[in-house]
């Protein structure tokens, strides 16, 4: 028995990655449980368990042995090469930031989260400002350690979207800013205000769970490899390709849970579409936040808010909720696509959504470079809302205190939402070119060809390619906002009876 059982360096590395993956998923299950089921009394112990497991996973990740294995491992296949690329990139980033800073950030952000919740509740920005100040100082330090050529934002945003830069985001927003502001203005000038009051009510929660589950199943979310529960802030998480968890919530607007479920199911189907043989390795799962969001938005907006979708499902909805007035398809479609400048990002419609993102993007860039001081953020924020959306928040609760991201030290994350919106239309254009009219399929509830196309071109590649490579492979070009702008302009010109500017 000479040497035949001696693992190669690559095998040792993979075994180590499997250990890290196990710790990571233990934390994942605990997080999921905390948000869905844990009694209040479990909070303190859970925080302790999670922070210890996170530290063990971090220590194992940046240990000398892991670094040595990643350094010395030699790929035996293209998949190994892709795996090594991901691992080395992650390790390079993880080791650049001193552990003292990692520790301070994790301590401060768990504290900051509590402070933020309190400050938002009391509409008291001043009490949160010093912590926010420190979080942005930490972001500046992180950027310095990670390194950048042009702008500190580049170092941070690359953590969320590989290859992204401030220049790239600027170009993206410059392309969509004016057309969106103009489209919102044209919609407002039309004076058309679709009625959506009929969606409000005290809807039965059991019936909502049943209906949203039916829809998730219909579009192709596999309940043998996933489930749906409720959580105050809906999300999707997974612990393996065979175990993907959706969450939804039931508000007094009937369609809120429906579009929430379709959104999370989009994330979930992407995760379920990774190859089984890559499970529990860094090759598995969605490649980036932007590409992930493109999938949730595809199922939520392009499919879920389409006329074809409700042509198929409005009769079912009426049967499931007998208190729903007998509105026609036209009225229903206009209601669920109503455009309305509002204060809250997460409730924003498809047209105004990116304007909310722009406010945050510009704010975090300016806070990072200290072009604006934290104490001046409320005025800065309100002025941007006036400029882009024509409304001014009456308080900071529904103004600059509304998002969780900065309290968690996440700077550079927001633009990926807009990238997802843009990319969803770009991918959809390719899908349409290959499949013919996908809305004809949707009207018949036949989603398999659509899901099949997305699996074939996007999901099955997991994280094998970089986001840039994947986008190029699928669309033949880089990120391009034209399909998105043309798509929503044509859609809303139709819905609001505006003069047409896009030849269809
Ligand atoms: Zn999402």
Residue 502 has pLDDT above 70, yes or no: no
Percent of the chain with pLDDT over 90: 87
* Residues linked to residue 200 through DSSP beta bridges, in sequence order: 253
pLDDT value of position 433: 97
- The rounded distance, in Å, linking the Cα atoms of 278 and 79 is 9
Sequence-distant (6+) residues with CB within 8 A of 418 are 172, 173, 176, 353, 354, 357, 358, 361
Lowest mean pLDDT among 37-41, 103-107, 237-241, 250-254: 103-107
> Each residue of 429-469: pLDDT tens digit?
999 999 999 999 999 999 999 999 999 999 999 999 999 99
Q: How far is the CA of 248 from the centre of ligand 1 (A)?
A: 12
Closest CA to 391 of 184, 217, 244: 184
The mean of the pLDDT values for the chain is: 95
Q: Quick: pLDDT tens for 371-415.
A: 999 999 999 999 999 999 999 999 999 999 999 899 989 999 999
pLDDT in tens, 138-192: 999 999 999 999 999 999 999 999 999 999 999 999 999 999 999 999 999 999 9
**Radius of gyration, CA atoms only, the chain:** 23
- 503 pLDDT above the threshold of 70: no
Tokens representing residue 493 in the block = 């010109």
Model pLDDT, residue 44: 82
- Ligand 1 centroid distance, CA of 88 (Å): 27
Question: Does the pLDDT value for residue 213 go beyond 60?
Answer: yes
Residues by chain with Cβ below 5 Å of ion ligand 1: 296
How many Cα neighbours within 13 Å face the side chain of 243? 8
Question: Which residue blocks in 220-283 are alpha helix, DSSP H?
Answer: 254-272
Q: How far apart are CA 381 and CA 394, in angstroms?
A: 12
**CB distance 297 to 420 below 8 Å:** yes
Model confidence band, residue 98 (pLDDT cutoffs 50, 70, 90): confident
Residue 287 has pLDDT above 70, yes or no: yes
Q: What is the pLDDT of residue 362?
A: 98
> Among all chains, which residue has been given the structure tokens 């398999």?
448
- What is the distance in A from the centroid of ligand 1 to the CA of 408? 17
- Domain residue ranges of the chain, discontinuous segments joined by +: 9-131, 166-496
Q: Is 462 left (phi over 0), alpha (psi -120 to 50) or beta?
A: left
Centroid of ligand 1 to alpha carbon of 105 (angstroms): 25
**For residue 498, how far is its CA from the centre of ligand 1 (angstroms)?**
30
C-alpha span between 471 and 466 (Å, rounded): 9
Contact 458, 427 (CB under 8 A): yes
Question: What tens digit of pLDDT does each residue of 463-473 get?
Answer: 999 999 999 99
d(CA 416, CA 234): 18
As a whole number of angstroms, the distance between CA 379 and CA 385 comes to 10
Structure tokens that stand for 54 in this block: 């996170």
Report whether pLDDT(131) > 90. yes
Q: What is the pLDDT of residues 263-283, one digit of tens each?
A: 999 999 999 999 999 999 999
Task: Please identify, in words, the CATH class of the domain defined by 166-496.
Answer: mainly alpha
Catalytic sites, residue numbers: 264
- CB atoms inside a 10 Å sphere around CB 419: 28
Read off the pLDDT of each residue in 249-256 and give the average, rounded to a whole number.
Answer: 94
Examine the pLDDT at 54 and tell me if it is beyond 90: no
Kindly give the distance from the C-alpha atom of residue 264 to the centroid of ligand 1, in angstroms, as a whole number: 6
Q: Is the pLDDT of residue 1 over 60?
A: no
| The pLDDT value given to residue 112 | 87
CA-CA distance, 262 to 268, in Å (whole number)? 9
pLDDT top residue among 233 and 370: 370
Find the 122 Cα to ligand 1 centroid distance in Å: 28
Specify the pLDDT at position 258: 97
**Residue 3 confidence class, pLDDT cut points 50, 70, 90:** low
The residues, ordered by sequence, that sit 6+ positions from 410 with a Cβ below 8 Å of its Cβ are: 160
Distance, in Å, from the CA atom of 404 to the CA atom of 232, rounded to the nearest integer, reads 13
Q: What does the pLDDT read at residue 497?
A: 95
What is the distance in A from the centroid of ligand 1 to the CA of 499? Answer: 32
pLDDT > 80? residue 2: no
Q: How many CB atoms lie under 10 A from the CB of residue 351?
A: 20
Whether residue 446 contacts residue 191, with contact meaning beta carbons closer than 8 Å, is answered with no
């Amino acid at each position: 028995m000479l040497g035949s059982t001696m693992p190669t360096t690559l095998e040792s590395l993979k075994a180590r990655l499997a250990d890290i993956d196990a710790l990571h998923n233990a934390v994942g299950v605990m997080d999921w449980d905390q948000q869905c089921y844990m009694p209040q009394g479990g909070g303190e112990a859970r925080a302790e368990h999670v922070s210890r497991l996170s530290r063990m996973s971090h220590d194992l990740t940046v240990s000398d042995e892991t670094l040595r294995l990643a350094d010395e491992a030699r790929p035996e296949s293209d998949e190994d090469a892709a795996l090594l690329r991901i691992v080395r990139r992650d390790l390079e980033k993880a080791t650049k930031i001193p552990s003292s800073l990692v520790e301070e950030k994790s301590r401060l952000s768990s504290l900051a989260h509590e402070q933020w919740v309190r400050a938002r509740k009391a509409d008291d920005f001043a009490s949160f400002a010093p912590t926010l100040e420190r979080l942005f100082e930490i972001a500046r330090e992180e950027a310095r350690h990670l390194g950048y050529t042009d702008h500190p934002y580049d170092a941070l945003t690359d953590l969320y979207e590989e290859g992204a830069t401030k220049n790239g985001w600027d170009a993206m927003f410059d392309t969509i800013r004016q057309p969106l502001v103009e489209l919102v203005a044209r919609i407002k000038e039309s004076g058309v205000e679709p009625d959506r009051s009929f969606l409000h009510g005290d809807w039965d929660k059991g019936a909502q769970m049943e209906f949203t589950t039916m829809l998730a199943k219909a579009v192709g979310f596999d309940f043998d490899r996933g489930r749906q529960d409720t959580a105050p802030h809906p999300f999707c998480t997974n612990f393996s390709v065979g175990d993907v968890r959706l969450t939804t919530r039931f508000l007094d607007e009937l369609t809120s849970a429906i579009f929430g479920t379709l959104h999370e199911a989009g994330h979930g189907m992407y995760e379920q579409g990774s190859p089984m043989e890559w499970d529990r390795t860094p090759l598995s799962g969605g490649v980036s936040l932007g590409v992930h969001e493109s999938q949730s938005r595809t199922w939520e907006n392009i499919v879920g808010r389409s006329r074809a979708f409700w042509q198929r499902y409005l009769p079912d909805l009426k049967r499931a909720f007998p208190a729903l007035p007998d509105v026609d398809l036209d009225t229903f479609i206009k209601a669920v696509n109503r455009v309305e400048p509002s204060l809250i990002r997460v409730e924003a419609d498809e047209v105004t959504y990116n304007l909310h993102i722009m406010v945050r993007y510009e704010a975090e860039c300016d806070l990072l470079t200290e072009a604006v001081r934290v104490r001046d953020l409320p005025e800065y924020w309100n002025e941007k809302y006036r400029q882009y959306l024509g409304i001014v928040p009456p308080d900071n609760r529904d103004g600059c205190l509304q998002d969780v991201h900065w309290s968690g030290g996440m700077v550079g994350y927001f633009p990926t939402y807009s990238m997802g919106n843009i990319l969803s239309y770009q991918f959809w254009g390719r899908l349409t070119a290959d499949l013919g009219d996908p809305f004809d399929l949707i009207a018949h509830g036949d989603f398999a060809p659509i899901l099949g196309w997305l699996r074939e071109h996007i999901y099955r590649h997991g994280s094998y390619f970089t986001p840039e490579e994947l986008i190029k492979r699928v669309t033949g070009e880089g990120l391009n906002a034209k399909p998105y702008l043309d798509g929503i302009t044509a859609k809303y010109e139709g819905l609001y009876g505006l003069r047409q500017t896009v030849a269809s």
